[in-house]
Amino acid sequence: MNIYSKHNTILAVAFMLLWLFTSARVYAQPQPELTCVSVNENGSLYVGWNIPSGTFDGFRLFYKKTTEAFYNSLDFLPTITSGSIPVTDAQTEKYDVFLITFNNSPAANSPESVHLNNMLLVVSNGGIGSGIARLDWSPMKAVGAPEYIILRSMDNVNFIEIGRSNSLIYFDTIEAVCDLKTIYYKIEIPLTGCWPHSSTGSGTFKDDNRPEDPSITYVTINNGLAEIHWEHSLTPDVDGYILGVKDGAAYLDHDTTDFVNFIIDDFTDRPTYRYPCDESVTYVLRAKDQCGNQSSGILNYNRLHHTILISGEIESHCNRQATLTWNHYISMDPEVSTYEVYRSENGNIAELAGKVSASEAESYTFTDPLMLSNGSLYTYWVKAVNDVNTISSESCQVYLAPVIEFLTDFDLNLITVSNDNYIAMQASGAPDELIGKVNVYRGTSQSSGLQLLFSNNWSNSPVQLSDYDALVHESSYFYQLVATDACGYELGESLLFRSILLELTQPEDESIRLNWNAFMGWGDYLKNYQVYRFDGDIPAPGFPKPVPPETLFFNDLISEVSPGMVTYYVEAVHEDGRKSLSNTVSLVPEAEVLVPTAFRIGGFTPQFIPILKNVEPTAYLFMIYNHWGQLVFETTNVEEGWDGSMNGSPSPPGAYIWMLNFSDFNGNK
């Protein structure tokens, strides 16, 4: 028990005067350290101090209200470290307290310790409603900024720490107090050996505060249902969440959950339900606390999360490839960096079909390079991921089942040399509407491969095609056709065909030998070859001559050839009557010209005319000049000669000059 002496007011005043007089002297007494002043529940003060080194007779504690002029004092033995000041109003009045050490004989006092005050706490309403308590308090010490512990009690008996502060103000957000209630507060300083308390402050409050928003982290699809994940609200008394869906410009409440951090939206019977495989569904989330207060939702309204809506089609690629389209996923943190496209065939393990880099685009399109198999069922979906790969969002699955219609017929029916200067082809296919184009491949050697010559739009069968670049007198050609659909995918290819190149040689035995390559394309349906000969423009007697398919030559005797130009060609004959012609070859005899040495008007020969043999009639020019160099006659008609006249009158006898221009059947002039 602390020992102290209590003086009456008159003696206290006298003592104070004496103390004020002696305190001006230089003392050898040790100065004490006053450490704390704490307010007791009954309004008294508890004071603590440290014992200084040195010899003295006791401690003298001085105190007064800060509104008063004179101090009261209490004496304590030199071994005592704390004591109580027997006042009753320290809960509402501020006191000034200091300490000295003293000796009785000779009388001496130490310098004053630091002055301390009891901490007075004022509690007020710190917000618009009744949900925030504002705490203001006075410091215990005039200088310094200690750490203050904030204590709260619902019964003014049991106080718990709710926070700390380095300033003289604190705001307490009321939680889980659903009806108006008096709440009590104290301030405490955590000092070694002494934890001073402030006065007790109180106010009437209830929780009418909005809790903090939760934060949606991602939305994904789980077996065709939306799965929403979020981080909890940081407000401690939150006990559930309100899930909402965006409907136009409005947000509709969809479900109220318990205190969980994800939910699967399987509330299909509710009018607010949106099927995420038919539309991109936008979700928002608010928190609710134990008193029914709801958060604003602003956090999630400003960072909307919606499901990825994927669609797929195969029609634009004629059922051969899948094209997928989906919307951009926004508000992932970190943002989406890549979209991964997955594919499963007939329920087998899914594999990565491709990746698409994310951008600011609102939607994305991806065409799977895989050629789809007819009759298989393909399942596709998209996963949005970020570079951290801690979260991801998947779309619904789309199912694509290609049904590919194939040609029942496609073939190159015929190739032939046409007009002796190009290759004509005829192709057919069924059904015609499946074929978009036909690609014509050509080559001069089967071993070196064929190259694309040209592409042609397809119409109704049979389709006529022409190769005007073919050098039909120099080479035979291999041809193959490939039919493609409207998307460019191959539907079928023809058999390999080869045209006929006919060549003529004249061995020394004066026979004529015709050689040709085997026609290709009809296989065993090649009936035979027919060899045609024309003497001038007239079919030669006994022709055409049939030649078996395995025979690729024909001999003709020169003695059997009529005078003039002789032309040959070969024809390959199909069992059904189709025919493929070769180029023509000609046996061209040497040109012969006989011109009379003299001519008399009215003589035995009425005309002066050259005698021609094996001359090309279309390249003929016959002219007569007199000795003056004057042209007297000119003709291009091989049947017309000069009758000796000039301008309708007989020409005088004399020397005349003739000039003849002609070409043989080979074009030689």
Here the tokens at position 182 are 């008096």
**Cβ 314 vs Cβ 402: under 8 Å:** yes
- Fold designation for 9-117: Immunoglobulin-like (2.60.40)
- Coil, strand or helix at 633: strand
pLDDT of residue 19: 41
E strand spans, 368-450: 378-385, 392-394, 398-400, 409-418, 422-430, 437-443
Here the tokens at position 403 are 């049904």
- Fold designation for 215-306: Immunoglobulin-like (2.60.40)
Here the tokens at position 396 are 């619904």
Here the tokens at position 594 are 């006989």
- Fold designation for 310-400: Immunoglobulin-like (2.60.40)
Here the tokens at position 550 are 């395995």
pLDDT of residue 20: 41
pLDDT of residue 665: 60
**Cβ 42 vs Cβ 89: under 8 Å:** no
Contacts of 21 (CB under 8 A, 6+ apart): none
Sole residue written with tokens 């010490």: 141
pLDDT of residue 506: 78
Sole residue written with tokens 């491709």: 354
User: What pTM does this model have?
Assistant: 0.67
502-587 falls under which CATH superfamily?
A: Immunoglobulins (2.60.40.10)
Torsion of CA 48, 54, 55, 57, to 10 degrees: -20
- Coil, strand or helix at 486: coil
Domain spanning 121-205 has what CATH number?
2.60.40.10
pLDDT of residue 525: 96
Look up residue 113 and give its DSSP letter. -
Domain 215-306 identical in fold to domain 592-661 = yes
Domain ranges for the chain: 9-117, 121-205, 215-306, 310-400, 428-492, 502-587, 592-661
Partners of residue 484 on adjacent β-strands: 437, 490
For the chain of 669 residues, list the mean pLDDT of each consecutive stretch of 10: 35 38 54 96 97 96 97 97 97 98 95 97 94 97 88 97 97 96 97 91 97 98 98 97 96 97 97 97 98 96 96 94 97 96 97 96 97 96 93 97 93 97 97 95 90 95 96 96 93 96 81 94 97 90 95 84 79 97 84 70 72 71 79 82 77 79 68
Q: Which CATH architecture has domain 592-661?
A: Sandwich (2.60)
**Cβ 425 vs Cβ 467: under 8 Å:** yes
pLDDT of residue 14: 36
